[in-house]
Amino acid sequence: MTVITEELKTRAEQIKNEANVLFKDKKFPAAIEKYTEAIQVNPNVASYYTNRAFCHLKLESYGYAIADSDKALEVDPNFTKANYRRASANMALGDFKAALKDLRVVSKRAPSDKDAKSKFDECAKIVRRIEFEKAIEHDEVRRSVADSIEVDAITVESSYNGPKINEDTKKVDLDFIKGMVNRFKDEKMIHRKYAFMIVLAIREYMLEAPSLIDVKVPSDGKLTVCGDVHGQFYDFINIFETNGYPSEKHAYLFNGDFVDRGSFSVEVILTLFAYKLLYPNQVFLARGNHETDNMNKVYGFEGEVKAKFSDMMFKLFSETFNALPLSHVIENKIFVTHGGLFSRDGVTLDEIRKIDRITQGQPGSDGLMCELLWSDPQPEMGRVPNKRGVGIQFGPDVTKNFLETNGLDMIIRSHEVKEEGYVIEHDGKCVTVFSAPNYCDTVGNKGALINITPDMKLDYVTFSAVPHPSVRPMQYASQFSGLLGM
């Protein structure tokens, strides 16, 4: 270890205390700068690294949080908080086995800590379940859960007073959707029969779609592109109420991360699916990194679906998410995907169109599908590993190469919270749009959307959060909310 004078130690502590104040005020990037300054003055204090790791967790920079935890354990192998931070980051990435190793260390060193023990037990349960499911897959060809659902056999009780889908046509109509949205606003759920009908119909529709969809702007209307809405149903509906509901003349493209974090994810996804059924050529849905099993286990959607419906319903959602398209191209000019670009040049739209997303199912930790869902832009040229720990960060040169390869004008992507709801980067060629204002009820950011007219003009609209019932974010992921800094 580097020998540090008492004067430098004192100076480093002062800087660390300044960083703590910034952290308390939720100024995480500024706090990271200060913790980094403290580390530069005195690199021998493990807590400086874990404090910075906590900031990275708050900013969803899980790769950086793991690196800081590793460094803290180099400085002090017995610094348990570093194991806890690393477990948090790996849990956030869905690497449950790695998280379990650190949680085992934490629970052994603090046997009386009930919170640590409960998180260890919950993580161990997930690992056992994943291993069991893998064993079943090896033993037999898994049957689709959709094949075991007999919707016609489900009885709608006479006491149910919500909206109904016509039993003869089995078609979703506008009156049903309006009734459903109003019921959701009142914190009531639709009957499970109608929920099954909606999700099954979307699954069947999406199974026939390519991985990349071509989109037209209505000739006498507009197309609205929205980013992450993350289960914030009341903010999501506010988009329609202020910007216009989907219609024949008003198309919408929702660019992934419909669910998780917010505790009204079921309401969001059922509304989107219903509108997709009503207006299949005007409503477009792309898969995000949170339309995946590992994320849903951690960030609340799985628990929410099981609480509001059943385990079978969650399995059906999982299969349906696997079938969602990965990208869209608007009028042969604008490429739209949730995360970003690739670890190699030369990727073509035709390559993306042919990705076998349904067979692959979950996106994994590398490859085109993973990078589409997880990658982020950076201001520097070139490519580096992503701060999140999955995918890459890509520079303006990478964006330029991809656009030129495919004869495109620009990229719209989502995946990152932005203070004003959107950011324009890479010489105007890469736009991030994020549509969940006051993300997780704590960030204070605005949401944004992009209206595109037939002449391909882009109008950026920002909006603030609206009130919602007193249900906290990740209500249905309570075991892990503390671990993830919620």
CA angle, residues 381, 384, 385, in degrees to nearest 5? 155
Do 433 and 225 form a contact (C-beta atoms < 8 A)? yes
SS (H, E, C) 30-70: HHHHHHHHHHHHCCCCHHHHHHHHHHHHHCCCHHHHHHHHH
210 burial via Cβ count (<10 Å: 0-12, 13-18, 19+): middle
> What values do phi and psi take at 226, rounded to 5?
-120, 150
Asked if 362 contacts 291 with a C-beta cutoff of 8 angstroms, the reply is no
Residues 31-59: b if buried by 16+ CB within 10 A, e if exposed: bbbbbbbbbebbbebbbbbbbbbbbbbbb
Cβ neighbours of 174 (radius 10 Å) = 14
Beta carbons within 10 angstroms of residue 442's beta carbon: 12
Residue 294, exposed/middle/buried by CB under 10 A (0-12, 13-18, 19+)? buried
- Token pair, residue 32, equals 């990271």
Give the distance between the most distant pair of CA atoms in the chain.
82
Distances (CA, A) of 66 to 54, 137, 243, 482: 10, 31, 41, 17
Cα separation, 201 vs 336, in Å, equals 24
Q: Could you tell me the two tokens for 150?
A: 């007999």
Catalytic annotation, pick one of 250, 290, 328, 415? 290
Q: Which amino acid would we find at residue 59?
A: L
Question: Catalytic site residue 250?
Answer: no
Question: Which of 393, 463, 461, 462 lies closest to 430 in space, CA to CA?
Answer: 393
Q: Which two tokens stand for residue 337?
A: 């995907």
Q: How far apart are the first and last CA of the chain?
A: 34
Which amino acid makes up residue 358?
Answer: I
C-alpha angle 183-188-194 in degrees, rounded to nearest 5:
75
Q: Among candidates 247, 235, 298, which has minimal Cα distance to 434? A: 235
| DSSP at 200 | H
Enumerate the active-site residues. 290
